[in-house]
Every structure is written in C-alpha cells, then in structure tokens.
Amino acid sequence: MVRTQSWAVGLVAHPVGTEVSRLEWRLACRRHQETFVQLLRSVGIEDEADMELIRRRFLVWWSLEAPATYFEIVSTRRCGGCVAEERHLDLARGVAKLIELAKELL
C-alpha cells in the first residue's frame, strides 16, 4: 500500500484556476487572522474569496514595500503581523493599504 505523504501536501501550490472557498492562511496567528477579517468586514468585504484575493495582493505589496522584512517572515515562518508589531513598523500604512485593496473590489 502506498501511503500519501501528507507532510508534502502543504508544499504543493494550488492549481491555477481553482476556486478559492476559504482563506489560505499560512503564517498568520489567530489574532492577526481575526484582525484581518474584522478590518475587511468593517469596510464591507464579506466574501471569503474577496478576502483571499486581498490577502494575496497585500502580500505582494508588502514584499515590494519591505522586502527584507517580508523575506525574514517567510524564511522564519513567523506571523507577519506579530513581526510588524515587534519591529514597531507603521501598521497604519498596512491598514490603509488593506482598505485601498478592499475598495477596489467594492
């Protein structure tokens, strides 16, 4: 019997074109996941597929905005929100960007 290598499942990229039915969190802690969802709901985003799109666009923006910090978060597999807080990064800029991304979908 061939066993599925379940450890590898998380490493496989999702196929292009697959409908996203829920948010695909990788590194965010529960507190920052809830903060993200509450923020988007407060500006009128209810659909999880929209939230997932915003999440992805936000990460692209962050990787361009602060590449060193972004690389550290990905390579150490820590929650980006927690690292941003520890570093006293300007969270207001991130919040403003999330709202901007949300409004593009409204």
Q: How many residues bind Zn ion (CB under 5 A)?
A: 5
**23 with 33: CB under 8 angstroms?**
yes
Distance CA 106, CA 79 (A): 28
59 vs 105 by CB, closer to Zn ion: 59
Give the integer Cα–Cα distance in Å for 74 and 84.
13
Instruction: Round to whole Å and give the CA distance between 25 and 80.
Output: 11
Q: Which of 50, 81, 94, 102 binds Zn ion (CB under 5 A)?
A: 81
**Nearer to Zn ion among residue 25 and residue 61 (C-beta):** 25
Cβ-based nearer residue to Zn ion, 78 or 105: 78
* Among the listed residues 20, 82, 89, 99, the single contact to Zn ion using CB under 5 A: 82
By CB under 5 A, is residue 73 in contact with Zn ion?
no
The residue assigned the tokens 């074109």 is 17
32, 57, 93, 97: residue in contact with Zn ion (rule CB under 5 A): 32
For Zn ion, the closer of residues 87 and 103 by Cβ is: 87
Helices 91-105/30-42 angle, 10° precision: 50
Residues in contact with Zn ion by the rule CB under 5 A:
29, 32, 79, 81-82
